[in-house]
Amino acid sequence: MDLSDPDSVRKCIREIQPGLIVNAAAYTAVDKAEAEPDLAMMVNGTPPHHGGRGEAAGCRHRALLHRLRVRRQQSHALRRGRCDHPINVYGRSKLAGEEAIQAVGAPHLILRTSWVYGARGKNFLLTILRLARERDELKIVDDQFGAPTWSRTIAETTAQMLAQRRSAAALAEVSGVYHLTAVVAPPGMASPKPSWRIRRCS
């Protein structure tokens, strides 16, 4: 299935007719998205919409998204319920994907997370570990505030949420947007015991 090809996504859903869709895929090249806005929007903003339309076409599925959001740069954590203020093409494409799912009206969970890291792939943690081995001194930008979140935490939490809401009716009761991130202390404060939280914001 090619996420840059809506027909490919639609065809796959219609053939499989899944009972559940967990969409953890995304266009994640934040800077490159400025030069590829159409591709970023196609991958992040369009496939979830076509997946949702499958519900109306008879595919028995519920849509769930994992989303990494880029918001207005600021020095403090965002509060629940804050308005969306995408600061770039990448952020706008993510928001478009959320709005597409919500517009369909099918039972769904949208999990907003941040700075995802894991043992594989490309992520900030692995980059820093590699640079620490290669260099005696590291210079890192300090104009961003985020909560690094382990990919395993996201996967396990997703599984737990779905296990508790096995039917479409049960999922419909909690449909909405949630923030799922690690707990990180604001600048200048001591870091709390490593933990994570999931909070509903809509």
Catalytic positions: 90
Tokens of 116: 């995802």
Residue with tokens 């994640």: 28
Among 160, 149, 140, CA closest to 68: 149
> Hey, CA dihedral for 83, 86, 90, 92, is it positive or negative?
positive
Residue with tokens 């008879």: 58
Residues 6+ apart with CB under 8 A from 87: 70, 71, 72, 73
Residue with tokens 């093409």: 89
Among 42, 11, 10, 38, CA closest to 25: 42
- Under a CB-based contact definition with an 8 Å cutoff, are residues 43 and 96 in contact? no
Q: Using CA atoms, how far apart are residues 92 and 98, in angstroms rounded to an integer? A: 10
Helix (H, G, I), strand (E, B) or coil at 150: strand
- Under a CB-based contact definition with an 8 Å cutoff, are residues 93 and 39 in contact? no
